[in-house]
A and B are shown apart, each in its own frame.
Chain A
């Protein structure tokens, strides 16, 4: 049994006792984490702490070794085959490396899964794609090829591609880590706007400033376990564990 969530509404995303082992190596140990509807939860931690693996378990790009994951009360972990594909439509994901399809235009990137997976009529998919590109400020690049875009623009297209499927939750896996510093702002701006519109978001990122300002809750992971979780003021202003304290000290040193 997991402890009742402090949020009274049913969590949008609920991770219970998640474990992940690669062979003999245990990468995640008994992770419990829930994200309320409209909540932005930030996951921080040193590299190798398992935070990306945890995120990738949420849409089963990584297969959990044990534990359950629920999206809006539905089991993600029980899905097989076509049911898993349908479940993934409700879970948007943005990757560190963007992974736009290089052989398709920006518009084609945002339309593909709408047409093939969601079975939307082409005209509707196109309208929705344009709407989403507008949303991330790139409608004027609809006909461009991904290679013609900056990293920040590519990441915003990748976000539009996920959003066009009307997901219930968005997962961001270090969305700004591969970007030049001057391009980070445009991506964070899109994320901030999504948050303001009530999107449920689980974000793995090193953008501490953004976490402090925009997150509802911050989760600190280290060595495959959740070490500390709480509102950003508590996590950054009053860290309890030594591991978090030393992590924050290291990070702030890097940022100087």
Chain B
């Protein structure tokens, strides 16, 4: 038992590795901000494209969404990081991760937005257009606020997935939280830094997960 605590819950080693993990956490935060921000914006654009009556917008958007939802994110990441340099595109690990996860994640957000927009009754758009609002105005002021409200739990769920997804970045040696923890582990010959990393993920994501559950219960009660 003493060995177990010493190997996994060694507070001394946790404290020592904290500065390294804090740095990693900073990079994870930056990564999340970039991927979530770009993913939301890209997802919204893709959803609007996929729902457009114009074929030259609709089909490319649907193809993009299908393609990047079907490719495993790790495959995508390795391809962007290791494959693209052969085409003369040398990317930093950070940029490679942002691009790969943006492609994956915007496709997922797009599906959520699309479901949200389609959940708003047709009469809402008709009422808006009948009062002289343009198509973009009707979308922005009437459809989207209702669409986002209807799929908020799904948007949050997807966001939780993104945060977890960023740990894959350790594969391309980006010193985010998991990578830093693993470094600390190999230096100290002790797994406690990994446990600390897991606790940090838990501390960030558990409130979010709780919020989603509460929100879903709330929706069900209506």
Contact = CB atoms under 8 A, between A and B. Distances in A.
Contacts of B123: 95, 97, 99
Interface string A82-123: 100110110111010101111100000000110011100000
B194 to A, nearest CB: 45
Interface band, chain A = 20 to 34
Interface stretch (B12-20, B94-102, B126-134, B212-220): B126-134
A85 B126 contact: no
B131 A162 contact: yes
A103 B128 CA distance: 13
A99 B131 contact: no
A61 to B, nearest CB: 6
B142 interface: yes
Contact of B134 (A82, A91, A118): A82
Interface of A: 59, 61, 82, 85-86, 88-89, 91-93, 95, 97, 99-103, 112-113, 116-118, 158, 161-162, 165
A162 B127 CA distance: 9
The 5 closest A-B pairs by CB, nearest first: A113-B131, A99-B127, A117-B132, A89-B132, A99-B123
B202 to A, nearest CB: 34
A118 B132 CA distance: 8
9 contacts: A82-B134, A85-B134, A88-B129, A88-B132, A95-B130, A99-B123, A101-B142, A113-B133, A117-B132
B146 A93 contact: no
B23 interface: no
B146 A102 contact: yes
Contacts of A162: 130-131
Given A102-B146, A103-B145, A103-B149, A95 B134 contact: no
Contacts of A102: 146
Contacts of B132: 85-86, 88-89, 113, 117-118, 165
Contact of B130 (A61, A86, A100, A101): A61
Interface residues of B, number: 18
Given A101-B128, A112-B141, A165-B131, 16 more contacts: A61-B129, A85-B129, A88-B131, A89-B131, A95-B127, A99-B127, A101-B127, A101-B146, A103-B145, A112-B128, A112-B142, A113-B128, A113-B132, A113-B133, A117-B132, A117-B133
A61 B133 CA distance: 13
A245 B123 CA distance: 34
B137 interface: yes
Contacts of B124: 99, 101
A20 B127 CA distance: 21
A97 B125 CA distance: 13
A254 B131 CA distance: 35
A112 to B, nearest CB: 6
Contacts of B145: 103
A19 B165 CA distance: 56
A161 B137 CA distance: 16
Contact of A103 (B121, B127, B146): B146
Interface string B140-151: 011001100100
Nearest to A91: B130
A161 to B, nearest CB: 7
Contacts of A59: 130
